[in-house]
Amino acid sequence: MNNTKLSVNINKIATLRNSRGGANPSVVEAAVKAQQFGADGITIHPRPDERHIRYQDVYDLKPVVDTEFNIEGYPNEKFMEIVLEVKPTQATLVPDPPGVLTSNAGWNTIEHQAFLKGVIDRLKNAGIRTSIFIETDEKMIRAAKETGADRVELYTESYAVSFPSDKEKAVAPFVKAAKVAHEVGLGINAGHDLSLENLTYFNQNIPNLLEVSIGHALISDALYLGMSNAVKMYKNCLR
C-alpha cells in the first residue's frame, strides 16, 4: 500500500480573499488549520499577476508551514528569486504561460531539457527538492530524469475527466507512467482535479505514489463540510 502524503493547495483561499480585498480569509490561518487537521504539506502557486497567491504570501507562509512546503509555478526569474530565498521543501516546475487560468499541460522535457537542467541545478544547489509537472508520455518521463529532477508530478486531469465513465481505462496510462518513473529513479507525485470521488481508486492503483496536491476540490468540499472534515476525508482516501 502507498503511504501517500496529502499536500493542500490553498490558492482558492487567496482567490476568495482577493475578491473582497483585505486579509480575510487568511491564507496563513488556512495553512495552520489544514496542518492541524492532518495535512502533510501546503502547496501554493504564485502567478505573475498575483490573482490568488501574492508574492508576500510566500514569505508570510514560510514560518508557519512546519510540514512540507511546496511552491509550484513557472520558473521565471521572479519565481526563482523567491523560491531560492524562501527555500521550501519542494519546488514543482509547471509550464504555465502567464495568462493561463489553471495548469493545463505538462512539460516537454525533451524540447526544454537544457532550460530545466539549468533551473534544477540552481534549486538543488540550494537544497530544494525538485518536481516536474508532466503528462504520461514515457519519453517525457525518461527525459525528465535527465534534467536532474527528483520527482515528477503526474498531471491527472485526463484521469478525472474519464473516471466516471471508465475508471480502469482512465487510470491505465498513469499506472504505466508511474512504473516508468519508478524504474528510472524518479519519485511520483500527482495532482489536478483529484477529488473525494476519484482519489481512493487512484491511490490504490498507482504504485509508489508519494504525494498528491489537491486544492480546488478540497477547498470546495470544505465550504460544505468544514476544513477539518474535508482534510480528514481526503486523508482517509489515501489510507
Report the SS3 class of residue 70. strand
**192 is a catalytic site residue:** yes
**45 is a catalytic site residue:** yes
Catalytic residue among 68, 72, 135, 211: 72
**CA distances from residue 164 to 62, 154, 160 in whole angstroms, order as listed:** 38, 19, 8
Closest C-alpha to 59, from 36, 81, 90, 37? 81
The CA-based dihedral angle spanning residues 186, 12, 68, 224, taken in that order and rounded to the nearest 10 degrees: -110
Q: Look at phi and psi of residue 148 and say left if phi exceeds 0, alpha if psi is from -120 to 50, else beta.
A: left
User: What cell does 104 get?
Assistant: 493545463
What is the distance between the alpha carbons of residues 179 and 70, in angstroms, rounded to a whole number? Answer: 24
**50 is a catalytic site residue:** no
User: What cell does 228 get?
Assistant: 477539518
- What is the DSSP code string of 156-191? -HHHHHHTTT-HHHHHHHHHHHHHHHHHTT-EEEEE
Catalytic residue among 68, 135, 192, 211: 192
Q: Which residues are catalytic?
A: 45, 72, 192
